Amino acid sequence: MQNKINITFGKSAFSKLPKKFSEKKYSRVFILVDNNTNKFCLSDFISITGFDKAEILIMEAGEENKHLQTCENLWKNLSNKGADRNSVLINLGGGVVTDLGGFVACTFKRGIDFYNIPTTLLAMVDASVGGKTGIDLGSLKNQIGVIEEPKQVIIDPIWLETLPKNEIRSGFAEMLKHGIISSKKYWQTLKELTDLRVSTLKEFIKPSVKIKKEVVLKDPREKNLRKILNFGHTLGHAIESYFLINLNKNKLLHGEAIVIGMILESYLSIHCAGLKIEVAKDIKTTFLKSFKKIEFSSDDKKEIVKLLKHDKKNIGDKINFVLISSIGKPKIDVQVPEDLFEDAFNFYLSD
Ligand SMILES: NC(=O)c1ccc[n+]([C@@H]2O[C@H](COP(=O)([O-])OP(=O)(O)OC[C@H]3O[C@@H](n4cnc5c(N)ncnc54)[C@H](O)[C@@H]3O)[C@@H](O)[C@H]2O)c1
């Protein structure tokens, strides 16, 4: 993996791509979109870059398509359209497109170059940055994948104008996480935002990316420090998976599931990392200002705890958590007694 993260902000980087691509002597340009970014972003992207000869690959939108079958269709499509090892793939979309497209690129003919153009807030501040590519295995999140940096990530908020409000909120959740794990000041600033309009949030994209980038640069392969980015994600991923496989439940967006995970893991932090109860309560209140509370039955909770056992951060049969001892002070590899999970849900569900 290259130990370099190339992130550019601003629209002008799009128009520089053709020159860059001809210097790199790419034989063919492929653009991966999902049905929404096909509709909302592709024509603008082509008119800015002039890539009107690029081959377009389209996948169905949504986490339920972040699967091997979609990859197989795309590998076949690349092959049928004559992609060779010198071809390049541009992933134009949210985290599903950048995660899956990155994986497709890394594995096609043992790896072709790829570029990420994130079009959701979540992908801008998190998913497109840091080189984690991958897909889900059945209901288990991100079980298959590789870590490989895109050649470049180009971030510009122009795409956010068409993004639904709940998707904006989902991205905001990961930005709040950046504050919780790394900076009291950043957490304080974000938590005081009263409206989540693009015009307000866009100035915080760069600071959030900076936090993620600095962590990834220090530990690209997640041996130690990078684990802090998983705060809220151990329970959050299990909750996301559970709502995805349960057809009688409304699906949760990634950020919505992670918010619940962060509240539950704040509670666990009181008991296992010395977090002050007032801080855990403040985290809960802050999230619940923007995110609706979700009900969990006792069966739901049991199934979620079962899914926890598959978390990638586990070692042997031990479930490892990232907890916090205060805002900005994460603790990695903390093992939590199972009987605290029930209390954590009660903390989330209580008034
Ligand atoms: N690789 C990482 O480090 C990392 C980090 C965090 C999250 N993730 C992954 O990211 C995924 C979530 O990403 P996401 O929230 O971007 O989801 P997503 O890619 O599903 O996008 C959300 C929705 O917005 C639509 N959309 C995208 N851009 C749009 C635009 N400009 N206008 C209108 N609609 C648009 C998409 O079609 C989709 O319906 C999850 O799979 C998660 O596991 C990865």
179 with 132, same domain?
no
**Does one domain contain both 24 and 80?**
yes
Same domain, 52 and 138: yes
3 vs 206 pLDDT, higher one: 206
Residue among 120, 126, 205, 208 to mutate when testing ligand 1 (max atoms within 8 A of CB): 120
Distance of CA 226 to the CA centre of its chain: 14
pTM across the whole model = 0.96
Rounded Cα distance, 248 and 311, in Å: 24
Query: What are the residues facing 114 on neighbouring strands?
Result: 89
pLDDT at position 319, please? 84
Instruction: Compute, in angstroms, the gap from residue 163 CA to the centroid of ligand 1.
Output: 10
pLDDT of residue 185: 97
Q: Judge if 154 and 171 occupy the same domain.
A: no
Q: Which atom of ligand 1 is nearest to the CA of 141?
A: 43
In ligand 1, the atom with minimum distance to the C-alpha of 162 is: 32
One-letter amino acid identity for 333? D
Distance, in Å, from the CA atom of 52 to the CA atom of 73, rounded to the nearest integer, reads: 23
SS (H, E, C) the chain: CCCCCCEEECCHHHHHHHHHHHHHCCCCEEEEEEHHHHHHCHHHHHHHHCCCCCEEEEECCCHHHCCHHHHHHHHHHHHHCCCCCCCEEEEEECHHHHHHHHHHHHHHHHCCEEEEEECCHHHHHHHCCCCECCEEECCEEEEECCECCCCEEEECHHHHHHCCHHHHHHHHHHHHHHHHHHCHHHHHHHHCCCCCCHHHHHHHHHHHHHHHHHHHHHCCCCCCHHHHHHCCHHHHHHHHHHHHHCCCCCCCCHHHHHHHHHHHHHHHHHHHCCCCHHHHHHHHHHHHHHCCCCCCCHHHHHHHHHHHCCCCCCECCECEEEEEEECCEEEEEEECCCCHHHHHHHHHHCC
Summarised one tens digit per residue, pLDDT across range 95-124 is 999 999 999 999 999 999 999 999 999 999
Question: Does residue 208's CB lie within 6 angstroms of at least one atom of ligand 1?
Answer: no
- Whether 79 is in a domain gets the answer yes
Where a domain ends, among 135, 158, 181? 158
Q: How remote is the CA of residue 343 from the centroid of ligand 1, in Å?
A: 31
Q: How confident is the model at residue 309 (pLDDT cuts 50, 70, 90)?
A: confident
Q: Do both 94 and 117 map to the same domain? A: yes
Q: Is the CB of 101 under 6 A from ligand 1?
A: no
Is residue 195 domain-shared with residue 139, that is, in the same domain?
Answer: no
How do residues 191-248 score in pLDDT, each as one tens digit?
A: 999 889 999 999 999 999 999 999 999 999 999 999 999 999 999 999 999 999 998 8
Residues 315 and 280 in one domain: yes
Other C-beta atoms closer than 10 Å to the C-beta of 94 total 29
On whether both 211 and 74 belong to a single domain, the answer is no
Q: Is the Cα dihedral 218, 221, 224, 225 positive or negative?
A: positive
Ligand 1: atom nearest CA of 171 is 15
Which amino acids are annotated catalytic? 110, 132, 174, 212, 222, 226, 230, 233, 237, 254
- Please check the confidence at residue 310 and state whether its pLDDT lies above 80: no
Q: How far is the CA of 167 from the centre of ligand 1 (A)?
A: 8
- 312 C-alpha vs ligand 1 centroid, how far in Å? 21
- In a domain, residue 270? The reply is yes
pLDDT of residue 317: 64
User: Are 44 and 158 contacting, i.e. CB atoms less than 8 angstroms apart?
Assistant: yes
Regarding the beta carbon of 266 and ligand 1, being less than 6 Å apart is answered no
Last residue of a domain, one of 158, 187, 213: 158
pLDDT of residue 278: 98
Residues 49 and 81 in one domain: yes
Residue 180 in domain: yes
Query: How far apart are the C-alpha atoms of 41 and 116, rounded to whole Å?
Result: 13
Note whether residue 2 is domain-resident. no
Instruction: Flag whether 201 is in a domain.
Output: yes
Task: For residues 203 and 253, state if they share a domain.
Answer: yes
**142-182, pLDDT tens digit by residue?**
999 999 999 999 999 999 999 999 999 999 999 999 999 99
Give pLDDT, residue 1.
47
> Which CATH number fits the domain that encloses residue 283?
1.20.1090.10
Co-location of 232 and 317 in the same domain? yes
**Is the Cβ atom of 66 under 6 angstroms away from ligand 1?**
yes
Q: Which two tokens stand for residue 62?
A: 């949504």
- Give the atom of ligand 1 at the shortest distance from the alpha carbon of 123: 16
What is the pLDDT averaged over residues 20-33? 97
Domain count, the chain: 2
Q: Taking all residues of the chain, what is their mean pLDDT, rounded to a whole number? A: 95
Range of the domain at 302: 165-349
Is residue 187 a part of any domain in this protein?
A: yes
* pLDDT value of residue 139: 84
Window from 45-59, 67-81, 247-261, 300-314 with minimum mean pLDDT: 300-314
Nearest CA to ligand 1 atom 25: 36
**Is the domain of 173 the same as that of 80?**
no
Q: Which of 158, 193, 225 is the last residue of a domain?
A: 158
Percent of the chain at pLDDT exceeding 90? 90
Q: Is 123 in the pocket of ligand 1 (CB under 6 A)?
A: yes
